[in-house]
Amino acid sequence: MSSTTSAALPTARGLIRLPGGATQRGLLIQVALLLGVVALGWWLWSNAQVNMAARGLQFGFGFLERSAGIPIGEAMIAYAPSDTYSRALTVGLLNTLRVAIIGCFLCTIFGVLLGLARLSANPLLRGLTGGYIELVRNTPLVLQLVFWHAVMLQMPSVRQSINPLPGVFISQRGLKIPALLNEPELWAFLGAILAALVGWWLLLRRERARQIAIGERRPTLLPGFAMLLGFPALALLAGFVPTVEWPVMAGFNFEGGLALSPEFFALLVGLVIYTSAFVAEIVRSGIQSVHPGQGEAARALGLPNGRIMRLVILPQALRVIIPPMTSQYLNLTKNSSLAVVIGYPDLVSVANTSINQTGQAIEVITIFMAIYLFLSLSTSGLMNWYNSRVALKER
Amino acid sequence: MSASLAPPAGPSQAARIGAFLRACFAGPLNSAITLACLVVLYYAAPPIWDWAVGRATWSGTAAQCREAGGACWAFIREKFWFSIFGLYPYEQRWRPATMLSILVIMVLASTQRRCWGRRLLVGWAVAAPAMLVLMAGGVFGLEPVATRLWGGLSITGIIAVYGLALGYPLAILLALGRRSELTLLRWFSTAVIECVRGVPLISLLFMAAIMLPLFLPQGVTLDRLARVLVAYTLFTAAYMAEVVRGGLQAMPRGQYEAAEAIGLSYWQKMRLIILPQALTITIPSQVNTFIGLFKDTTLVVVIGVFDFFTTLRAALGDSQWLGFATEAYVFAAGVYFVLCFAMSRYSMHLERTLQPGTR
């Protein structure tokens, strides 16, 4: 209730106005809440002290520097079981980030494709996609992860691994793909691609300014693509050729190439399939939320189909799509903690082992909850920033 | 071939098939898509049908299953009651059975618009404790059964019902707190909601399972199921609170001002004017949120509670029935799908009927 209306009211029970628009009762409630929270916190804390003392534990983060002795199957940074707990937890966090970032990227692509298929004019495609989406959305993710993990373990042994594409091998031990060697040539090559993208973006900006200034539009697609292909080609000609390492069968195992463990692969596939079904529904409802009159009006102006989509439909659909997409990305990141069910060494899984070994439950749980909270808040901050850029600007 | 794919029979079947075919083969691109879909169906459907139905074994032994080579539904038949009751003592199985019947009756009653009202609330208030008493025993001459013996669909039902029943009032309080004019109260509610929503349910479950005992006075132990319920209730409350907040925000200002103008106190205003409307318009989103929460009951596996899915997985370890994992997964997926799909259809139905103006 706004202070102006309550001031005009005869006698709202017990509301005595204090300076600054606060009411006495309101103040009392807040003081009681504060006292309650503090008292509860103090009670819990003193209990924890007693309990930890009884178990011979001491609160503190000193254990982080002790040797962990946790074997971790896959680590993106150098790791040995003799490393410290903080190192082990960092490895877990990097594993979480790896699956989350790749997952968000892939689920966007598949989700948009599925959403478009769901809107197709073809009833057969529409129906099949709809059935698939409903099936995926209405079964628990844990079940799907366990299923994909079981599928991975059913794959043939390394010696009989499936070879669907040159350099790609699927076996019980996971996926083997060609790797790019980490050397200066690779970074120069990637730098060239990045330069091309920046160049394209600058070109777009200049052409848009030009269009606004003199109303003339020059094509940007062709020069853009020329840059995107030309810059890396120049880098190749200049001798910056990244080395591709192909996996080769040697004895009982592969040598070279990038190995993706069955756990990682199952987790990634499960998360992407699950989340992309939700993304598909978001994309569908976003595109459907644009009034058909918008497209018809654009067509009446003589715009070609591609531009109608790009200039009229998509900017309006994105406004509806972005906010729920944010929560899907967050869901995917949080759901990646289900890795513990299939044994992928993510943050929660490593933290769980650390708790079992050290008994420092409060500290470890505080650490990983803080990390997830930070990830959630920063992702939603980033997406809110993007959202404010595409949101309806009312002039 | 095309006739079998046509929509279900209607008054003008021929016309509908005609329209369907025209839509399928309008233009070269469309025809190509149709053909691609048919190719996929041609290669995928027969093997699946052959496995699930054609060569399936519906009753018999594991050996007969292996001989037939198809799906072993006999395994599901064998383990069906285990997946519902878990390790609950055999001669006491009538108790979870009664509990589940009460649950089904109450849920069915709750879906009927004409049952909505005070009586339904009273019904739930009686039914929920009755369900727990039936399961736990120890009174009325019922033999006590430890919660570690509970399992299967019955424990999934208990967690879902209790999570919602305890979490919902908390959700309303949190939502009101987040919309409150009292700064501290608003900060507190916002912090609780955002902190719970910002972390995975798994971490809350770990917290409840491992950290909570440390925070309780010495000598006080909380049952494992109770700890699961603490985490799950908090999770339900935070997610539901955001849905309720959406409803509160959607109420036109005039509703708040009119309630104040006739001199209602805060609680009268909320109880009589705002909440009934805000909760009603958000019922579809509440059902959708609950579908997600219901699927999340499977996460209790991480702290060793044997819910429906975990019980089925445990049944896979039976040495007489090794190697029928796919059947178990398909069956579990089917059960969850039927329940969740029914809820989502119901939510869509409500969305149509709860539109202002059709009420």
Question: What pLDDT, on a 0 to 100 scale, did the predictor assign at position A13?
Answer: 46
Q: Does ipTM top 0.85? A: no
Q: Is A26 close to B188, i.e. CB distance below 8 A?
A: no
Q: For chain B, where are the alpha helices, taking DSSP H only? A: 13-24, 27-49, 62-68, 73-85, 94-111, 118-136, 152-178, 183-198, 201-206, 212-215, 224-250, 253-261, 266-268, 275-281, 283-296, 308-315, 325-353
pLDDT at B359 over 60: no
Question: What pLDDT, on a 0 to 100 scale, did the predictor assign at position B111?
Answer: 78
pLDDT at A2 over 70: no
Assess if residue A366 is contained within a domain.
yes
Q: Is A26 close to B182, i.e. CB distance below 8 A?
A: yes
Tell whether B206 lies on the interface with A, counting CB pairs under 8 A.
yes
Question: What pLDDT, on a 0 to 100 scale, did the predictor assign at position A392?
Answer: 62
- What is the spatial distance between Cα B213 and Cα A221, in angstroms, rounded to a whole number? 62
Domains of chain B are 3-54 (no CATH), 80-88+145-353 (1.10.3720.10)
* pLDDT, mean of residues A93-107: 90
- Band of residue A297 on the pLDDT scale cut at 50, 70, 90: very high
pLDDT at A16 over 60: no
- Band of residue A393 on the pLDDT scale cut at 50, 70, 90: low
Q: Is A47 close to B184, i.e. CB distance below 8 A?
A: no
Question: What pLDDT, on a 0 to 100 scale, did the predictor assign at position A103?
Answer: 92
Nearest chain B residue (CA) to A138: B337
Average pLDDT over chain A reads: 81
Percent of chain A with pLDDT over 90: 10
pLDDT at B7 over 60: no
Output the domain CATH number for residue A374.
1.10.3720.10
Assess if residue A165 is contained within a domain.
no
Compute the nearest-CA separation of B349 from chain A (Å): 16
pLDDT in tens, B291-350: 888 988 888 888 888 888 888 888 877 777 777 778 888 888 899 999 899 888 888 888
Nearest chain A residue (CA) to B30: A122
* pLDDT, mean of residues A344-373: 85
Domain range spanning residue A275?
A: 85-159+260-390
pLDDT at A19 over 70: no
Q: Is B260 close to A348, i.e. CB distance below 8 A?
A: no
* pLDDT, mean of residues B259-287: 84
Question: What pLDDT, on a 0 to 100 scale, did the predictor assign at position A22?
Answer: 54
Chain B (113-172) residues lying within 8 Å, Cβ to Cβ, of chain A: none
- What is the spatial distance between Cα A178 and Cα A168, in angstroms, rounded to a whole number? 7
pLDDT in tens, A222-233: 888 888 888 888
Chain B (218-237) residues lying within 8 Å, Cβ to Cβ, of chain A: 218
Residue B52: both structure tokens together: 């699930």
Question: What pLDDT, on a 0 to 100 scale, did the predictor assign at position B170?
Answer: 92
Q: Is A1 close to B207, i.e. CB distance below 8 A?
A: no
Nearest to B199 among A142, A352, A369 (CB): A369
Nearest to B260 among A1, A137, A337 (CB): A1
Assess if residue A40 is contained within a domain.
no
pLDDT at A248 over 80: no
The domain tally of chain A equals: 1
A181/A117: higher pLDDT: A117
**B102 residue type, one letter:** I
- SS3 of B79-127: the string is HHHHHHHCCCCHHHCHHHHHHHHHHHHHHHHHHCHHHCCHHHHHHHHHH
pLDDT at A47 over 70: yes
pLDDT at B251 over 60: yes
Question: What pLDDT, on a 0 to 100 scale, did the predictor assign at position A10?
Answer: 43
* pLDDT, mean of residues A209-218: 82
Assess if residue A226 is contained within a domain.
no
Question: What pLDDT, on a 0 to 100 scale, did the predictor assign at position A391?
Answer: 66
Q: Which of B146, B85, B103 is nearest to B311 (CA)?
A: B85
Contacts of B202 in chain A (CB under 8 A): 337-338, 340, 348
- Band of residue B237 on the pLDDT scale cut at 50, 70, 90: very high
* pLDDT, mean of residues A274-284: 91
Average pLDDT over chain B reads: 81
Question: What pLDDT, on a 0 to 100 scale, did the predictor assign at position A11?
Answer: 43
pLDDT at A177 over 50: yes
pLDDT in tens, B20-46: 777 777 777 778 888 888 888 888 888
Pairing status of strand A179-180 against strand A248-250: unpaired
Nearest to A372 among B183, B185, B198 (CB): B198
pLDDT in tens, B103-153: 888 888 777 777 777 788 888 888 888 887 877 777 777 777 777 777 788
A291/A161: higher pLDDT: A291
Nearest chain B residue (CA) to A153: B325
Instruction: List beta partners, residue A174.
Output: A171
